[in-house]
Amino acid sequence: MTVSGSWERAARGAMLLGDGGELSPTIFAEMSALATATGAINLGQGFPDDDGPPEVLAAARQAISDGINQYPPGLGMPDLRLAISEHQQRFYGLAVDPDTEVLVTAGATEALAATILALTEEGDQVVVFEPFYDAYGATAALARTELVTVPLPAPDFRPDLDALRDAVTDRTRLIIVNSPHNPTGTIFDRGTLELIVELAHRHDAIIVTDEVYEHLTFGVPHVPIATLPGARERTVSISSGGKTFSTTGWKIGWITAPHRLLAPIIAVKQYLTYVNGGPFQPAIAVGLRLPDSYFEGAATSLAHRCALLSGGLRSAGFEVLSPQAGYFVIADAAPLGITDGAEFCRQLPARAGVVGVPVTAFVREEHRDGYRSLIRFAFCKREDVLERAASQLATLR
């Protein structure tokens, strides 16, 4: 019985892994391999190519020298939890108890996985906005839940509010919000956030909000959904130091949530990684306490780099769908006569020495019409790299 049970599970797992399954190898891996093989400029993956603030890097080196190299506490180091709680108060006026309402995780990715695994049961529905960050679909599949998508149509990627109303039902367990949004760079407006809170109340759903781009906004304020009336008590807020401090390889993320929601997440997290990144935890605490000028400077510098790449894409003949935040810009290749963005991305390294990712990679097969000519390019790169990419792209004309 046990043996056949495990075979059944394995067979179901194979369906997740098979061609087009939620856990099949991604186009990101294919495109990064192509960048390595061809020497093309990799604007496919969202990692910065310069270092984060020197104080933060120095704090990590110091922590290693000071012997902070063993397992940190399961919830995360107390001083980092305090820094996270101070950060929520300082930027958003949210009071968070560092001892009972904060959990440090292995990046936002583990925070998402632990949350989805802890708070859902097989067959529950999980609502996401599509295009969506691939980890949502993969983890929802691991948890044997059913993904329900609300489209964000080009060119402005705002959700249709009637579609949102239809998507949330009494079977909805989680509504996953990602604002600022990857891949589109959209920031949800207040009306959309208010409707999400209203629907969560009506159908007794939990809001999970992924805010990893919270500080990288271009003139449009980021409003955490937990600050809306009636939201905090049913919201799990997730963020990470990777994007804000250009330390994506450190994988220090966190959750803030009411203890009632956090307790089962802590239980699951223990068996995913238990803990991670000992010496990086005090360093991220230093980052979270940097003055406002650091956070403003990071956003301004990124907005400048966005403008640089966007200008290059426009001169190359793309239509640029300008982001309000984040690491990425979406360019429409339709004016260049392109109808299949995935195929175009496979040719782009040879044609222009640049790698991008088709937006269809963030959209389920059956919903891809409307996104087929769109390409996502990362601009979290050094200016000289973006200038080179822009001049190489100009050869496409």
Ligand X SMILES: Cc1ncc(COP(=O)(O)O)c(C=O)c1O
CA atoms within 13 A on the CB side of 278: 12
User: Would you say 180 or 353 has its CB closer to ligand X?
Assistant: 180
Tell me the DSSP string of 134-193: HHHHHHHHHTT-EEEEEE--TTTTPPPHHHHHHH--TTEEEEEE-SS-TTT-----HHHH
Q: In what order do the strands lie in the sheet with 252-256?
A: 102-106, 252-256, 235-240, 206-210, 172-177, 125-130, 146-151
Helices (H), the chain: 2-17, 27-38, 54-65, 78-92, 107-119, 134-142, 161-167, 190-202, 241-244, 259-269, 280-288, 292-315, 341-352, 383-393
- Does 151 engage in binding with ligand X (CB under 6 A)? no
- Does 253 engage in binding with ligand X (CB under 6 A)? yes
Using alpha carbons, select from 245, 218, 219, 388 the residue that is nearest to residue 308: 388
Is 180 in contact with 217 (CB distance < 8 Å)?
yes
User: Would you say 352 or 357 has its CB closer to ligand X?
Assistant: 357
Question: Binder to ligand X among 42, 88, 109, 237 (CB under 6 A)?
Answer: 109
Q: How many residues bind ligand X (CB under 6 A)?
A: 14
Taking the complex as a whole, the smallest distance from the CB of residue 180 to ligand X amounts, in Å, to 8
Task: Please give the structure tokens belonging to residue 87.
Answer: 């950060």
Taking the complex as a whole, the smallest distance from the CB of residue 13 to ligand X amounts, in Å, to 23
Binding residues among 225-244 for ligand X as defined by CB under 6 A: 240, 242
Which of the ranges 17-25, 95-103, 106-114, 158-166 carries the binding residues for ligand X, by CB under 6 A? 106-114
CA distance 69 to 250: 14
Taking the complex as a whole, the smallest distance from the CB of residue 240 to ligand X amounts, in Å, to 3
Question: Binder to ligand X among 248, 324, 373, 392 (CB under 6 A)?
Answer: 248
Q: How many CB atoms lie within 10 A of CB 364?
A: 15
Task: Please give the structure tokens belonging to residue 325.
Answer: 């935040």
Taking the complex as a whole, the smallest distance from the CB of residue 211 to ligand X amounts, in Å, to 9
User: Residue type for 214, please?
Assistant: E
- Does 185 engage in binding with ligand X (CB under 6 A)? no
- Does 72 engage in binding with ligand X (CB under 6 A)? no
Is 326 in contact with 314 (CB distance < 8 Å)?
no
- Does 210 engage in binding with ligand X (CB under 6 A)? yes
User: Would you say 283 or 396 has its CB closer to ligand X?
Assistant: 283
CA distance 111 to 253: 7
Cis amide bond preceding 155, omega within 30 = yes
Question: Binder to ligand X among 27, 35, 46, 363 (CB under 6 A)?
Answer: 46
Which of the ranges 19-27, 84-92, 105-113, 362-370 carries the binding residues for ligand X, by CB under 6 A? 105-113
Which of the ranges 25-33, 224-232, 248-256, 346-354 carries the binding residues for ligand X, by CB under 6 A? 248-256
User: Would you say 25 or 229 has its CB closer to ligand X?
Assistant: 25
Query: Would you give the binding string for ligand X spanning residues 163-182, x where CB under 6 A is met?
Result: ---------------x---x
Which of the ranges 104-112, 116-124, 214-222, 384-392 carries the binding residues for ligand X, by CB under 6 A? 104-112
Is 254 in contact with 82 (CB distance < 8 Å)?
no
Which of the ranges 26-34, 247-255, 263-271, 297-305 carries the binding residues for ligand X, by CB under 6 A? 247-255
Taking the complex as a whole, the smallest distance from the CB of residue 65 to ligand X amounts, in Å, to 25
Which residues, other chains included, contact 260 with Cβ-Cβ below 8 Å and sequence gap of 6+?
none
* Chain contacts with ligand X (rule: CB under 6 A): 46, 107-109, 133, 178, 182, 210, 212, 240, 242, 248, 251, 253
